[in-house]
Amino acid sequence: MNQPATQAAFRTWMCVVCGFIYDEAAGLPEEGIAPGTRWEDVPEDWTCPDCGVTKDDFEMMPL
């Protein structure tokens, strides 16, 4: 019996400017980003809802 590949754990990403946290598991439904949306699937033109910086100013948080 084949088991489905275990999916990688959801990660969190923090804005280095203001500290806003993007949680892949929660997404940002109010911004049109569904729960479970991986960071790499967040649109490149998305900006931090608190301070307006781009994805380049976010760092992955340790597990």
Residues of the binding site for Fe cation? 15, 18, 48, 51
Query: Nearest-CA neighbor of 42 among 63, 23, 17, 61?
Result: 23
Angle CA(31)–CA(38)–CA(57) in degrees, nearest 5?
A: 70
Provide the annotated binding site: 15, 18, 48, 51
